[in-house]
Chain A
Amino acid sequence: MASRSNDLEGIAIRVSDVSKTFKLPHERTSSLKGLLVNFFRRTKTFEKQKALQDISFDIHKGDFFAIVGRNGSGKSTLLKMLAGIYIPDAGTIYVDGKLTPFIELGVGFNPELTGRENVFLNGALLGFNHRDMDAMYDDIVEFAELERFMDQKLKNYSSGMQVRLAFSIAIRAKGDILLLDEVLAVGDTAFQQKCYNYFEELKAQQRTVVFVSHDMGAVRRFCNRAVYVSAGTLIAEGTPSKIAERYEIDNLESVQKAEAADAGPKVSNLRSVRTKIVEQTADRVVIKVLYTSKDDLSMYAGISVIRDGFSVGEINTLPQVLVGDGYIHYSLDITPFNPGMYEITVALFAQKNRELVSLGRNKSRFIIKGRDDTRGASVKLADTWSHEV
């Protein structure tokens, strides 16, 4: 861990030896009778769960700081501690500057109120008064693209519309330090693009942002520093690419374990297909496509390479009759790809009408290690720069 001076110059948040334990009642004693019974028995009916243990790190002013970790690792608890929603049992949290009070999008939205009323309520939670909100109202509605719906009740909004509205308000937040919890987990592609634009803006303004996400693409792209939290302890701290890679490797291992355990009975179909990565070198990944077919249909196998939920490339075999059990080897050149985690899905299509006849039951994953600060997204663009003065 980096050495820490006592000097707080340039520090936005300093977390020092913070621990938090939650008491989890076995059977929630929220009744006086339970309390009395337990008092006389003198037994503990709760379990102590150590949510966070001796966490220390610094966030500097202007940092775009990522907190990475699996579900239940304690990263959201940590964010709530930074926000002052939870109080640490031990340790201190020093904060210099005004925090935005929001952790999630759309908190406090009431389905029984109209969109307009919700905007004002949400704005008040962010610290704006009625006059501030009046001034910003039109911009918010326009940005959310919901002009026609503002007098309808929120319960009649689609979830996408709700997210758009919440996001339009949230980006008005004025605090010195922004806390964002999984904002990317909701919404469609267009919404994510808006999020990315907003992040770019925050970066340009050198605002301090603490960002919790599972999206390693975004962590690599926007953050300049990151910590990795696992089972309540901080296990790594460093550059986003290093942390993201470690997270992806850990994640991959546990997913593979789960899938290996889940190799249950085959689907009682005529056909099934799955993939397996058999070899990975610096420039090649060898994928084994295992198929089972009970008839003699002429078909072709296609694989797609997926990153962050989007297909970045697809390829298929020529049609041929596949019968019984067999496998196809496919050797994929990975040099055109940037570092990151990729998924492989497979499907079988009938030659006639290109009809989908079987979809792969699993996803194989591979990680391309390394870092390249000059490139982003999946495809490695090969070009040269020239500076002309």
Chain B
Amino acid sequence: MIVNKILSRQNRALLRELVTTDFKLRYQGSVLGYTWSLLRPLLLFCILYVVFVKFLRLGSGVPHFPIYLLLGIVLWNFFAEMTSQSLGSIVVRGDLIRKIRIPRWIVVISSSVSALINLLLNLVVVAIFMVLNRVDITFSVIWLPFILAEIYAFALGVSLFLAAAFVKYRDVSHIWEVVLQGLFYITPILYPLTLITNVTFQKLLLLNPVAQAIQDARNVTVTKDTLTIAEVFHSAGARLLTVSITIVILVLGILYFKKEAKYFAENI
């Protein structure tokens, strides 16, 4: 019933239009247009390669470290982009919210879908580099969609919460900027997790669903030389911990958003 309503013809049509509008506006007036979606991760890769592989020689122990790095960055960027864009989505579309009765969540979902499309384009670039670098692609790749789904669910829970809170408290955007910056450094993106020698810290870091998902994604696609949550906790069931955290965040996000959504029109 609820799923039918959520995925009704009207809602799907509206979502589609909002997402395409978003894309059109994003690359408006730029000469290269949509190409930037692919060009950006490409250029990023070049920079990472030069700085971390040639200058710093950080992950010399990890096979295919540049790709390992790129995948981490791409996944992190997805999380950062989706949450920061969703944060302002309700306020930015204030004219719609105040004057039309459309389901409020569609606005947040549409910005999350835009981020998702970007992620998929970026992953295409990653895949190209994997082939060029002759990475052994194994069967375990089938886990990747589940890992992506986990990041998406976690990011969605956070996004719904942020978008609703931002309507009332405009400080949220500044706070989230700082929090994102902090999370970036306590997530093993630029450095291999093995650099942290304290096992307790390793465990704490991996309780962050984004960190766990990034490590798992690297493990199933790039190299088995990635420390995953299962290895740190010595149990494959440890993933249930982060999955539970993800579900809790998602449910809390939905509930808070639902509660606040009724008053968006008058609070914006």
Which residues of A pack against B, CB within 8 Å?
Answer: 22, 30-33, 35, 80, 83-87, 99, 101-104, 107-108, 110, 112-113, 117, 120-121, 123-125, 127-130, 132
Contact = CB atoms under 8 A, between A and B. Distances in A.
B101 A124 contact: no
23 contacts: A22-B266, A30-B169, A31-B170, A32-B171, A35-B169, A85-B99, A102-B100, A103-B99, A103-B100, A108-B96, A112-B28, A117-B21, A117-B24, A120-B17, A121-B17, A124-B13, A124-B16, A125-B14, A127-B14, A128-B10, A129-B10, A129-B16, A130-B13
Given A85-B97, A124-B14, 9 more contacts: A103-B100, A112-B25, A113-B24, A113-B25, A125-B96, A125-B100, A129-B9, A130-B13, A132-B13
Contacts of A101: 100-102
A99 to B, nearest CB: 7
Contact of A125 (B16, B102, B266): B102
A113 B21 contact: yes
Contacts of B13: 124, 127-130, 132
A130 B13 CA distance: 7
Given A30-B168, A129-B10, A130-B13, A86 B265 contact: yes
Give 10 closest A-B pairs by Cβ, nearest first: A129-B13, A124-B17, A127-B10, A107-B99, A124-B14, A101-B101, A32-B171, A87-B262, A30-B170, A84-B101
Given A22-B266, A99-B101, A125-B102, A107 B95 contact: yes
Nearest to A77: B266
B12 interface: yes
A117 B171 CA distance: 34
Contacts of A104: 99
Contacts of B17: 120-121, 123-125, 130
A322 to B, nearest CB: 52
B263 interface: yes
A86 B95 CA distance: 14
Contacts of B21: 110, 113, 117, 121
Contacts of A113: 21, 24-25
A130 B175 CA distance: 39
B57 interface: no
Given A30-B170, A35-B169, A85 B101 contact: yes
B224 interface: no
Contacts of B98: 85
Nearest to B261: A87
B6 to A, nearest CB: 15
A344 to B, nearest CB: 38
Contact of A85 (B12, B18, B171, B265): B265
Contacts of B100: 85, 101-103, 107-108, 125
A129 B12 contact: yes
A53 B170 CA distance: 31
Contacts of A117: 21, 24
A94 to B, nearest CB: 16
A117 to B, nearest CB: 7
A80 B14 CA distance: 21
A135 to B, nearest CB: 13
Among the interface residues B21, B25, B170, which one has the most CB atoms of the partner chain A within 10 A? Answer: B21
